[in-house]
């Protein structure tokens, strides 16, 4: 809905939150309505918004991690520092880990005109914007700031294994970065404890007759150790095969001081004020007590900017699975984090894991978040990134890798993707000289926005689990029926586990369209080989150089990424069967046959789309909002 007069809007995400898809769609919707958008991207602080507020009519702050109260603490002081600001303030997303009405009231008292504590659709935002600005005179607007792109991508670390001496030289600075690090210093003591714990890697190993397990893993993560222990016990009783805690957003940005304060606040209030488990602050001994009680293979899941201290404490605490990688925990999450720097930090993590294996016989599984930005991710890109991460990890001595894939919604394509992911992961590791590395595949249930309707969400979870089982994945990471409406409780996760178990059983009665799966697999193999070849050529044989240069050149390009090091030219949408295709291949080095295949599939979609679309972005918006708005018949989309 166009506004009466063109206006200027500052739009961005705040704090550690990295959700960029909705922001990108909202930016295009407001722009297509005829208004100037100063797009700030993700991970801004409150000062950043105030610096731009004097030049715009409206400031829109997005927060999806539930920590808005933490991020707004300086709001009254900044209002005094900037007395001439007259902009309207909006806040939206998943604003609070607890009481959504509480944060609505607090933000309104601070001076926010509109507060949307949970999901709101784009037409509603445009409608209230028009209402609010109908009689308001336009602000004196400054020229929108051009998006920053680094002139130099940085220098990649050498593509070679760190020596033990190199690692031990770096360890003191890492361990001294927060007081709890000191307890992780003794590698031999850590290894002795690790060897007595249930092994995450061993849980994935094939049985005596070669049958692969199908492990089911829920998510969890709260501020206090006692509550985390309670959650683990409940989830184990509900049938979880392996367990993990999600690290909170403050720890992910290495802000241990704020995490410390939030732990104290959680103790005082009796409810978690964090969206995850602040493991660095709790430290080694708390972690050892926790794992000794649950006696289940345990994994650390996070997306931490500098993962080195987290990895040290995780290993020392007896955790035998550690997720993340230089690409998967950078490009989808951070705005200004160079691949060169993340490669260097993750070499440390992988060498630490490799050293535990070589010196002490401890195999710690390393998982890669091939989910990327989760929305409309072309499977070939997810596979390439996983394979690169696996090769980098194996090069540092890692003995077990888990390659992650997020369900996109076309069952034939998803099954093909998982099969090709395992096949090419094993192939490229063997070609590189690492045939003994254990390769597991992880199937994430639909990671994009969930249906608002609880019954539809439950149906999606059941069908998703069936797809995961049919694909031959080693492990399923579950969702809950309340994903769209609230941060899941322990009971919600228990329900998600039960629905997933039901779906895995129902897979026995599902017939796979093997012909279509083979066709999809053929396309994926060609795409993966072409992208990976371009990365290796860009680095002249060096994988680390190739990664840095490939992102700079656009040979690797993740849709919807917030990173300034990602070109953002690749655009994706669904074909008429719901499979994810390249709407724009950007600078990916595909053959003409591959490009024509995707052009043909997307042309068919445009011809049949009703109502017709005016732009590529409108097609993308429909696909992104299709599931949360309920505009689909059944999951999976090709059912």
Q: Which residues are catalytic?
A: 252, 323
Which residues have C-beta within 8 Å of that of residue 45, sequence separation ≥ 6?
A: 14, 15, 71
Backbone angles phi, psi at 450, to 5 degrees: -95, 160
Residue 173: other Cβ atoms inside 10 A: 11
Q: Is the peptide bond before 108 cis (omega within 30 degrees of 0)?
A: no
CA atoms 57, 63, 66, 67: torsion sign: negative
Run of H or E residues at 40: strand 36-44
Taking the C-alpha atoms of residue 367 and residue 389, their distance in angstroms, rounded to an integer, is 9
Chain centroid to CA 261: 25
Interatomic CA distance for residues 423 and 417, integer angstroms: 10
Cα 8 from chain centre = 30
Q: How far apart are CA 458 and CA 215, in angstroms?
A: 20
* Angstrom distances, CA of residue 525 to CA of 259, 408, 416, 423: 44, 18, 10, 10
Distance CA 449, CA 441 (A): 23
Task: Kindly state the helix (H) or strand (E) to which residue 262 belongs, with its residue range.
Answer: helix 256-269
Task: Please state, in angstroms and rounded to a whole number, the distance separating the CA atoms of residues 35 and 100.
Answer: 30
DSSP alpha helix (H) spans, 37-140: 46-53, 68-71, 75-81, 100-110, 122-133
């Amino acid at each position: 809905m166009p506004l009466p007069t063109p206006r200027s809007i500052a739009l961005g995400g705040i704090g550690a939150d990295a959700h960029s898809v909705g922001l990108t769609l909202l930016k295009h919707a407001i722009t297509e309505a005829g208004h100037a958008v100063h797009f700030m991207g993700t991970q801004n602080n409150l000062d950043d918004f105030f610096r731009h507020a004097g030049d715009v009519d409206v400031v829109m702050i997005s927060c999806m991690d539930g920590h808005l109260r933490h991020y707004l603490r300086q709001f009254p002081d900044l209002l005094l520092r900037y007395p001439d600001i007259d902009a309207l303030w909006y806040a939206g997303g998943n604003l609070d880990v607890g009481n959504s009405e509480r944060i609505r009231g607090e933000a309104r008292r601070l001076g926010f005109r509109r507060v949307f504590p949970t999901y709101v659709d784009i037409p509603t935002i445009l409608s209230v914007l028009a209402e609010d600005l109908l009689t308001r005179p336009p602000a004196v607007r400054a020229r929108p700031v051009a998006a920053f792109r680094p002139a130099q991508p940085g220098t990649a670390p050498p593509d070679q294994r760190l020596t033990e001496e190199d690692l031990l030289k770096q360890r003191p600075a890492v361990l001294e970065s927060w007081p709890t690090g000191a307890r992780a210093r003794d590698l031999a003591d850590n290894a002795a404890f690790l060897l007595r714990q249930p092994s995450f890697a061993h849980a994935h190993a094939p049985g005596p007759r070669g049958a692969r397990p199908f492990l089911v893993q829920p998510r969890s993560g709260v501020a206090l150790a006692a509550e985390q222990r309670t959650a683990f016990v409940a989830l184990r009783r509900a049938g979880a095969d392996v367990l993990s805690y999600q690290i909170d957003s403050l720890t992910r940005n290495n802000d241990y001081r704020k995490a410390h304060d939030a732990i104290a606040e959680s103790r005082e209030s009796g409810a978690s004020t964090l969206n995850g488990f602040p493991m660095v602050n709790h430290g080694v001994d708390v972690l050892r007590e926790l794992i000794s009680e649950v006696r289940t293979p345990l994994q650390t899941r996070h997306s931490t900017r500098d993962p080195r201290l987290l990895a040290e404490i995780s290993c020392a605490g007896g955790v035998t699975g550690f997720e993340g990688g230089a690409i998967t925990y950078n490009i989808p999450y951070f705005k200004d984090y160079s691949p060169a720097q993340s490669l260097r930090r993750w070499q440390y993590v992988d060498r630490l894991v490799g050293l535990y294996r070589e010196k002490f016989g401890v195999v710690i599984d390393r998982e890669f978040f091939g989910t990327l930005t989760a929305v409309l991710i072309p499977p070939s890109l997810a596979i390439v990134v996983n394979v690169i991460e696996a090769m980098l990890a194996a090069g540092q001595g890692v003995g077990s890798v888990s390659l992650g894939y997020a369900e996109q919604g076309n069952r034939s394509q998803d099954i093909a993707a998982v099969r090709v992911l395992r096949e090419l992961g094993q192939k490229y590791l063997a070609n590189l000289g690492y045939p003994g590395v254990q390769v597991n595949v992880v199937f994430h249930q639909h990671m994009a926005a969930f249906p608002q309707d609880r019954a539809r969400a439950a149906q999606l979870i059941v069908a998703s689990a069936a797809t995961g089982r049919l694909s031959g994945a080693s492990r399923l990471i579950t969702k809950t029926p309340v994903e769209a409406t609230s941060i899941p409780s322990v009971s919600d996760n228990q329900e998600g586990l039960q629905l997933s178990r039901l779906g895995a059983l129902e897979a026995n009665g599902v017939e796979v369209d093997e012909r279509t799966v083979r066709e999809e697999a053929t396309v994926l193999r060609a795409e993966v080989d072409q992208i990976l070849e371009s990365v290796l050529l860009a680095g002249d044989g060096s994988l680390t150089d190739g990664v840095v240069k490939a992102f700079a050149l656009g040979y690797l390009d993740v849709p919807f990424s917030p990173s300034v090091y990602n070109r953002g030219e690749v655009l994706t949408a669904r074909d008429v069967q719901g499979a994810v295709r390249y709407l724009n291949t950007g600078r990916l080095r595909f053959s003409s046959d591959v490009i024509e295949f995707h052009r043909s599939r997307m042309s068919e979609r445009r011809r049949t789309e009703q109502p017709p679309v005016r732009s590529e972005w409108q097609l993308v918006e429909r696909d992104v909002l299709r599931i949360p708005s309920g505009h689909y018949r059944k999951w999976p989309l090709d059912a």
